[in-house]
Amino acid sequence: TRYKSTTGEKKNNNQKVNQATLTTSDSSLASTSLNATLTARGGNLLTLDAQELFDSFPPPVRTDTIQIYNKEAYHELIKMVSSKKSNIHICANGGSSTAGGGKVPKLHRYYTKFAKYIQQLNLNAGGGKVNIIERGHGTRHSLHSAVFASNFLPPNTDLLLWEFSINDYAYGDYMPEESHIQQERSMLIAWLREVEQMRPRPPKVILIYLWKTPFELNEEEKINNPVYDAHAKLAKEFDFVVGHVNLASYFDEPSMPRVEDLQRLFLSDPHHPSSAGHLAVTFLLLNLLRGKGEWSSSKGIVQPKLGKVEKYKWCCGTETKEKRFIQSRIVAGDDASSGWRSPLGTVTLEEPQNKVVSGSRQLVFDPKSSDGMKILGKQDPLRKDRQGSVSLACCTGNSNINFTTVGVPENTEPMQNVQAMFLGFGLGMSDIIDLKVFIESDSKDVNGKLIRDLHDWPCFWAWRDIYDSLWFAFSEEQPKISTMQICVENEQCEDNGQSDVMLISMAVY
């Protein structure tokens, strides 16, 4: 494990921590109602009703802990929650903490408890049921959800909760430190631009900041939270973003225990919040609904002109022809654009995801055209995040049965002006000598070039720990595509007729 224990007294500029409390030898840090409750309740902490929750957790006081960016968005959210007669749909989109990392059951996670307290407090006075839609994926980040937005962001969402602050940090020395802030900002911009395009209208958004893993103090003796620092409230410029809650900042409150006790009380492991940690997130979300926290000094912000909002930026370099080509697919370069270009269509076998809808940007695999389906990676019974894959067919003939077929759903217009495909394979399962693409069952494959070795790129488009990734660049732009047939060649195909190449996700540009 990368975690190292942090020792010494936790300092706070606002208030000196009581040393007698810190030197308590057992688990009863009973100098505050929170510590007393955690000690007394133990495993039954989650039976707290709403009043007990507010009585037990100290009220947040730091300005970074809860902030409301846009007053109009806040009031629209409150109106929706309190008066909507139909069902209220809350989607949680995040990493392994949202998916239940740390062996946290779904009933104990922040979004489930949030929905429960909304109903218990009778906040949904209009009578609408509060539905929870989980879109948590371990090791995934904001860029992943942005690229595959049509698969992971449900169009009927009323409130969208973002929880990627752990995974959006630029871990690893392959990413230059001087580019960290820009990369972390650009990923959130890509995600927000995709939310902005959701129809019939963008949902209201609340950002949930946790910490950088492993959980520890930074040089200022605060909980390390660099993604929050990098963002610097850039989401404020989007009028559908209500604001944020920041659990790391809450843990830095003067009334909270020292870091070792925070770890014991609120974390399941060095990375993930425990059930009590999820409850603390819920407490902050409920406080935001109550209007507690720092309000933006600006008046209700109307959607700003595109030129005034920070553009999405490419951080992978331009020193090769291949990088410049892919940059031209992903980044919209004209002055009137947001800088982010959405894919024309995407398909993924990762779960949980949206059902395929006609007319959307979702693509579908033809199950009859595959050599087999396989589940890769973790299969924790408490979690729903699964990584399915399809075995790409070997190029052994001209019949469609030898191809893996992917296309648009029924009653959907074809993709237009296609120039490239991003392909995400299982780690160690992308041994490809050649890849052939046939358009609309044509007997001749189209000309194109494979772009390899993305793992060496100094940016999140390297997809390390997620995919073995390749791009296929068409030699000529394809005016219209409804279906594509794909096959591969490698040594396994020659030996036994099966490629052992497992495709998880694909995005067409």
Within 85-158, strands assigned E span 88-94, 130-136
Check pLDDT > 90 for residue 5: no
* Residue 11 pLDDT greater than 60, yes or no: no
pLDDT exceeds cutoff 80 at 92: yes
Look up tokens 């209220």; give the residue.
Answer: 88
Confidence of residue 122 (pLDDT cuts 50, 70, 90): confident
Name the region of 25 (left: φ>0; alpha: ψ -120 to 50; beta: rest). Answer: alpha
User: Is the model more confident about 320 or about 86?
Assistant: 320
Share of the chain above pLDDT 90, in %: 70
Q: Is the pLDDT of residue 69 over 60?
A: yes
Query: Residue 182: is its pLDDT beyond 90?
Result: yes
CB atoms within 10 A of CB 260: 14
Lowest mean pLDDT: which of 231-240, 285-294, 305-314, 332-341? 305-314
Banded model confidence at residue 188, pLDDT cuts 50, 70, 90: very high
Q: What pLDDT sits at residue 336?
A: 65
Q: In which residue are the tokens 């009380």 written? A: 265
Lowest mean pLDDT among 5-19, 151-165, 200-214: 5-19
d(CA 330, CA 312): 10
Quote the pLDDT of residue 255: 85
Q: Under DSSP, is residue 36 helix (H, G, I), strand (E, B) or coil? A: helix
pLDDT of residue 7: 34
Instruction: Identify the band that residue 413 occupies on the pLDDT scale cut at 50, 70 and 90.
Output: very high
Tokens linked to 171: 């871990």
d(CA 106, CA 102): 11
From residue 366, alpha-carbon distances to 44, 148, 384, 398, 508 in Å are 48, 19, 23, 17, 17
SS3 label, residue 445: coil
Please provide the average confidence, as pLDDT, over all residues in the chain: 87
The per-residue pLDDT for 402 is 76
pLDDT at 28 > cutoff 80 = no
Question: For 97-125, b where at least 16 C-beta lie within 10 A, e where not — what string?
Answer: bbbbbbebeeebbbbbbbbbbbeebebbe
pLDDT band at 436 (very low <50, low <70, confident <90, very high): very high
pLDDT greater than 50 at residue 30: no
pTM attached to this predicted model: 0.90
Amino acid 478: pLDDT: 97
Give the pLDDT score at 8. Answer: 34
21-48 mean pLDDT: 52
Per-residue pLDDT averaged across 54-58, rounded?
A: 89
Burial of residue 269 (CB within 10 Å: 0-12, 13-18, 19+) is middle
- Residue 206: per-residue pLDDT: 98
Contacts of 53 (CB under 8 A, 6+ apart): 117, 279, 282, 283, 286
Backbone phi and psi for residue 453, each to the nearest 5 degrees, phi listed first: 60, 40
Q: 423 by DSSP, 3-state: which? A: strand
